[in-house]
Structure formats: C-alpha cells, structure tokens
A and B are shown apart, each in its own frame.
Chain A
Amino acid sequence: MCRVVDLQQAVLAKNDATADALRAELAGRGTTVVNLLSSPGSGKTALLERELLLAREGGVPVAALTADLATENDAKRLARSGVPVKQVLTDGLCHLEAGMLARHLEGWLPDGTRLLFVENVGNLVCPASYDLGEALRVVFASVTEGEDKPLKYPTAFGLAHLVVVTKTDIAAAVEFDEAAFRAHVEQVNPGVEVVMTSARRGEGAGALLDRAMAVADGGAVHAPVMGRPQNDHHHHEAASESHPQPHSQPHAHTQAAVRPVESSRLFGAVPGVVAHSRP
C-alpha cells in the first residue's frame, strides 16, 4: 500500500539535539564554547594565538581545538601560547558537526576549562549550518576579503553573535571601506557588534576574550534575526503547514507521524514561539 507519511522533521534535528546536549553538559562543567568561523587565510589562528596568550597571562583557564582538512600547523602555532590545544583533522570534510566535537572532547578537555575556542574548518558556507553547542559564534573577515563578504556569505554572517575584522594594519593599503563593510553586516545581521583587530599591531587585543568571558559569566548574547525562531503564527499559509490537509491516500498518522522536532535555535521554525535571546 502506498502511504504518505508526514514526518515534519528538521533535517539537522540530530545535530541540533547533540549540540544542545553538549552545551548543557559543558555548561555543567563550567565550560563555554566559542565557535570561530572564517574563510581560509583570514587570520583566525594569528588572532586566536594572541587571545590564548592573554588568557593564560590573565589566569583564565582556556583551551583550543582547531579543525583542518590536513596538517597540524595550526595546533603547533596555537600551542605556543602554552594552553591545551588539540588538532582535529577532518580528512577532507568541510565542517565540524556537534557529534564530532563531542567525541574529540572526550578524555581531552581539561577539567576547569572556562572557555573552549573551536577554530572551525576555514570555510564560510558549510560550518554555518552546524550548531556545535557553542554559546558564542564569531565570524572573522580580514580587510583583504572585500567589503561585500557579509552579503556573499549571508548565512555565516547572519548567524554570528560577534563579527571580528582582522588585519586592520593593512586596511589603508587595500583601501578597506569600513563603513561599507559595517553596513553590509548590518543588512544581514542588524545589531551585531563588529570589532576591528590587528594581531600584528595589537588593535582590539583582548576583545574576543572579553566578549567570550562576558558570555561565560552569563551576560546577554546578541540574538541574530536569522537565528531567532521563526514566528509565523499570524500567517495562515505558514500555519497550515503544521496542520496538513488530509491526503487522498491512506495516511499513517501512527508512530511514524512524529511531531516537529525542529530546534528553536539556529534552525528554528516553531510556530507561535516568541523570539528570545540565546542563553
């Protein structure tokens, strides 16, 4: 018999559930995860190396996990700061998923870690779709990448809690238009903070660490428009989606008819739920 079965399941529900569980587990251990996204070569590692050193000097227990397709070069650089560092090789996979992160943390993450920085694979497309259980998502862009980067990668920039501009020491040489960049960020993520940094000259030193510590201490986190739960209760067309019309064919509304399990976080679409800030 041919059946039409309403599943109504978020495709990434499993990753979201794993991420939520990891977030809760790590919060219980006093650890806050910071997920760092950028294109390859944006200067993520250089900036992170400096922030890790500042954390160590300030007596803040931090750790870093860095993901790359190949080589341990980044881990070696980050380890110079003297904090615990782990390299994850994804063997060609373009992004980290929550389950992968959880497996890599098992037996490695030192007790008492206050902040865990996760340097995602250098890629602004795929990592944007995967919640890793972070409390703070940071997107980096260097001044050499063009002011329209936020418009070209709207999902990555649109879901960021903080945007960090790197390499400002060469901004004049590449004629970086800061106002245009900020306007483009504002278009896809109204209200998100943009921080200007230069790992070489020290501009914005400690800003990333400050923002991460504020979140770890329970401070409010920016709620991106794109990340807020979709509030479509006053739209009849959208509302009818959750109450499908009967199909002409036999309908299996038994065990297979699972209620929507979409996360109310990054992939939120829970009708009638009012937008709220992430914890």
Chain B
Amino acid sequence: MHEMSIALAVVGQVEEAAARAGGVTAVTSVRLKVGELAGVVPDALSFCFELACAGTVLEGAELVTESVPGRAHCASCADDWAVGMPPQLCCPVCGEATAGLLSGRELRIADVHWEDGPARERTREPISEER
C-alpha cells in the first residue's frame, strides 16, 4: 500500500506549482492519468488523497483518476494489441519479444483546477494558505 506516498507526492507537486503561480486560493480538482500497469489502485489512492490534502491549499479537492489501458506495439510485425491484465507483452501475432509499450505505465498529473486572486470578499477568517 504505497498509495499514501503517491498521494503525498501528488499533493506536494500541486502545492509547488500553485506556489510558483502565486495567488492560488484553493485547488478544486486534480486529474490523474493512471495506467493499468502503473501498479496503483485508484480507490486506495482516492482515500489517501483526501487525507493528504488536509491542511493544504488542496483541502477538499476532488481527485479525478483516468484509467489508461495498456497497449503495445510489435516492432517486427507492426501489430498493436491491448496487453490486458496480467499483461501479455510478447507479440500475440509473431511471438517476438520486440514489443514496446504505447501506453499503460502512466502515473501522471494531467491538469489541475484552481481558484486564484484577486482575493474576493471573505466571508470567514482566512486560513493560512489564503494569505
């Protein structure tokens, strides 16, 4: 269960990007691409993400995970196939071990929705991330 480490890495990178951009008051959603061969369980990640966001500018942010199917391409016979799970990484047509993955190993932050300044009228006390 390394999803907590993954969630913390996601939160850390979004925090850094928000700090670089400046003026970010809240992150509302984060979209992740998760390949089926990435070795990450989206449900476990969602659970950890909520915890990892607590007390940060991402507090309450939604995690949207997009699953990316694994596909491979054979250099010998130019066949493309869905690798499946468990994956079949030898070419099903010619049997050669010359495949390359086209997709499926992604573990990537695609994009982030955030709110930024100028600060609107506050209806409550600002939390530290909103300075």
Contact = CB atoms under 8 A, between A and B. Distances in A.
B114 A231 contact: no
Contacts of B105: 226, 230, 267-269
A73 interface: no
Nearest to B9: A11
A97 B12 CA distance: 16
Contacts of A155: 37-39
Contacts of B82: none
Contacts of A9: 13, 17, 108-109
Interface residues of B, number: 47
A154 B39 CA distance: 9
A94 B39 CA distance: 14
A258 B17 contact: yes
Contacts of A230: 100-105
Contacts of A269: 103, 105-106, 108
Interface string A89-105: 00001110100000000
A252 B112 CA distance: 10
Interface stretch (A38-46, A173-181, A182-190): A182-190
B77 interface: no
B47 to A, nearest CB: 16
A228 interface: yes
B37 A11 contact: no
B43 to A, nearest CB: 15
Contacts of A97: 5
Interface in B19-73: 20-21, 28, 32, 37-40, 72-73
A11 B112 contact: no
A4 interface: yes
A94 B4 CA distance: 11
A246 to B, nearest CB: 12
Interface string B100-123: 111111111111111111000000
Interface in A235-279: 235, 238, 241, 244, 252, 254-256, 258, 260, 262, 267-269, 275
Given A230-B103, A235-B102, A8 B89 contact: no
Given A190-B97, A238-B103, A154 B37 contact: yes
A2 B115 contact: yes
A189 B89 CA distance: 7
B99 A232 contact: no
A139 to B, nearest CB: 13
A232 B80 CA distance: 11
Contact of A126 (B2, B102, B114): B2
Interface of B: 1-2, 5-6, 9-10, 12-14, 17-18, 20-21, 28, 32, 37-40, 72-73, 85-90, 97, 99-117
Q: Would you list the 8 A-B pairs with minimal beta carbon distance, nearest first?
A: A190-B97, A126-B2, A155-B39, A151-B86, A256-B21, A225-B89, A191-B97, A7-B109
24 contacts: A2-B113, A2-B115, A3-B115, A4-B111, A5-B17, A6-B111, A7-B13, A8-B109, A11-B13, A12-B9, A15-B9, A95-B2, A126-B1, A129-B6, A152-B86, A154-B86, A154-B87, A226-B87, A230-B101, A241-B110, A252-B116, A262-B108, A269-B103, A275-B100
Given A126-B5, A225-B99, A267-B107, 6 more contacts: A1-B116, A8-B111, A94-B2, A238-B103, A255-B20, A275-B100
